[in-house]
Homo-oligomer: A and B are copies of this chain.
Amino acid sequence: MKGQIEMKQELFFGNWLSAATDEKLEIHEQSWLLAEDGKIKSLGKEKPQVAESVRVHNFGDKLLIPPFSDLHLHAVQAMNCGLGLDLTLLDWLKTYTYPEESRFADPAYAEAVFRRVIHELWKFGSLNSIIFSSLHKEATLLLMKLLQEAGLRAYVGKVNMDRLSPDYLHESAEESLAATREWLEESRAYGALVKPIITPRFAPSCTDQLLEGLGLIVEDYDLPLQSHLNETPEEVALVHELFPRAQNYLEVYEHFGLLPRGKTVMAHCIYNSREEEAFLLEKQITIAHCPSSNMNIASGISRIRDYMKEGFLIGLGSDISGGESLSMQQVIKDALKSSALLSRKRKLTVPPLSLNEIFYLATRGGRAFFPESGGFEEGLSCDFLVIDDEVDKLPRQFSLEERLHRFLYYASPDEITTRVLAAVILPEPQL
C-alpha cells in the first residue's frame, strides 16, 4: 500500500465551473483544487495544507472548466472539412468521403492528417474522444500511437465495411474480421488512455456474415461498440431494403449482438421509432448528437432535449467531416441553434436547450465511456481547460456564468490557453 508521502500532489487555483447535472451549474469561485496522483482530492475556498514542495498553479481570475468529450468523429475525413457540404448523406459518401478514406493506405499521408487532427483535439479542448479511423489496420494503429503520445484519452475503431463501397475501399468479410482481430491484438500496446472500439461503419455497409463475426468479437473481447443510427430517412429506407426481416434499424445491430449494454454509442439517432427509443433506453446506449453534421448534410434535427429529460445517455459529436469543425464550441452553438429551430417548429411550447444543458452534454455526455472525466468531484481524474477571456480588458463586468456563456457561444477557441489531463499540463502536440 502506498504511503501518503509518496503521493504526487498538485494544487490548482481559479474559478471552477462545471455542470453537476443538466439542471445545475456548479461554481467554485476563487477556489483551490488539490490533486493526488492525478485525481481530484478536494475543491474548496480554503487552501489545503500541503508540503512546501507541492507545485501550485495559480490561474487567478481565469475560468476552469471540464474538458469536452467529442463522441463521434471520423479522423480520416479531416481534410474534407468544409468541402461538399451542399450534398446529402449518401451522395456525399460516394463523392467526397470514400475517395479520401482510401488515401489512408499510405502511412505517410495518414500520419500527416492524424497529427493535424490530434493538434485540433488538443487545441479545442476535446481531451476525450471516440474516433472512427478507416478500414486500414496500420493507419488505425498509428492513430492510436499518436493519441497515446499526445496524452489524449480516446477510443479508436478500425472501420469494418464489406458492402456498398467502391472497389478501391473494400474488404471481404473474412479479411475484415481477420484484420480486426490482428488490430485488437496489436492495439494492446495502447492500454492506459487509448482503447479499441468495434466499429461497423453502419448497417448498410456490412453483410450478415461480417456483422455476425463482429458480434462474436465484441463478446470474445468484451469490447464497446460505435456506429451510426437513423441519420436520414433515405438511410433508414436502405436498411429496410437490405435487412427486410428486421423490424427496425436498431434491431439489425441487436440481432448480431452488437449492442453491448452501457458500452454502445450510436451517432445521430434522429429518425427513431418508438420501439427503438425504448430499446435505446433499455440498453443504455449513448446517443452522439451531431448537430453541425445534421444541419450541413440536411439530415434533420434530433429531439435531443426531450431525450435528455427522458433519461437517455446523450453527448455531442463533431462528426467531421459531416460536421465542418472539430471545435466543440461550434458544435455547442449548433446544438443550441438546431434546438431553437425545433422549439419554433413546436410553436415555442417546448424550450430550447439552455446553457447549462448544453454545457452538461458537452462535458458529461460521454460519462458511459469516460466516467473518470467531466467534473470536479473527489475521485475523478483532474482534467480541465483553462479559459483566458481577458475579462479585465472588457468595457464592462460579467458574472462567472455570463463569462461561461460568452466562452461557449461566442469566443474564439484561442481563449483555451491550457489543457490539463490527470493533473498534467498537456504540451502542444507536434504537427
Min Cβ gap A299→B in Å is: 7
Task: Name the contact of A82 in the complex, choosing from B116, B296, B353, B411 (C-beta under 8 A).
Answer: B411
The CB with the most chain B CB atoms within 10 A, among A79, A325, A334, A337, is that of: A337
Min Cβ gap A55→B in Å is: 33
Q: Are B298 and A410 in contact (CB under 8 A)?
A: no
Cα–Cα distance between A91 and B87 once the two chains are bound (Å): 37
Q: Are A299 and B344 in contact (CB under 8 A)?
A: yes
The CB with the most chain B CB atoms within 10 A, among A83, A297, A351, is that of: A83
**A352 is an interface residue with CB less than 8 A from chain B:** yes
Q: Which B residues touch A109, using CB under 8 A?
A: 395-396
Q: Which residue of B lies closest to A321 (CB)?
A: B410
**Interface 0/1 of A308-341, CB less than 8 Å to B:** 0000000000000000110000000110111011
**A295 is an interface residue with CB less than 8 A from chain B:** yes
Of A188-196, A239-247, A400-408, which stretch is located at the interface?
Answer: A400-408
Q: Which B residues touch A301, using CB under 8 A?
A: 341
**Interface 0/1 of A73-110, CB less than 8 Å to B:** 00000010111111010000000000000010000010
Min Cβ gap A261→B in Å is: 33
Q: Are B324 and A333 in contact (CB under 8 A)?
A: yes
Q: Are B116 and A395 in contact (CB under 8 A)?
A: yes
Q: Which B residues touch A334, using CB under 8 A?
A: 337
Cα–Cα distance between A395 and B117 once the two chains are bound (Å): 12
Q: Are B348 and A298 in contact (CB under 8 A)?
A: yes
**A58 is an interface residue with CB less than 8 A from chain B:** no
Q: Which B residues touch A340, using CB under 8 A?
A: 85-86, 295-298
Task: Name the contact of A395 in the complex, choosing from B79, B296, B297 (C-beta under 8 A).
Answer: B79
**A409 is an interface residue with CB less than 8 A from chain B:** yes
Q: Which residue of B lies closest to A407 (CB)?
A: B82
Q: A298-B341, A301-B341, A341-B295 are in contact. Are A396 and B86 (CB under 8 A)?
A: no
Q: Are B395 and A341 in contact (CB under 8 A)?
A: no
Cα–Cα distance between A146 and B412 once the two chains are bound (Å): 24
Q: A405-B83, A410-B325 are in contact. Are A337 and B296 (CB under 8 A)?
A: yes
Q: Are B409 and A324 in contact (CB under 8 A)?
A: yes
Query: A-side interface residues toward B, CB under 8 Å?
Result: 79, 81-86, 88, 103, 109, 112-113, 116, 292, 295-301, 324-325, 333-334, 336-338, 340-341, 343-344, 348, 351-355, 394-396, 402, 405-412
Beyond A82-B410, A299-B344, A325-B410, list 13 extra A-B contacts (CB 8 Å).
A79-B395, A81-B409, A82-B408, A83-B405, A85-B340, A85-B405, A86-B340, A86-B351, A113-B395, A296-B337, A298-B343, A298-B352, A300-B344
Q: Which 4 A-B pairs have the closest CB atoms?
A: A82-B410, A82-B409, A295-B337, A112-B395
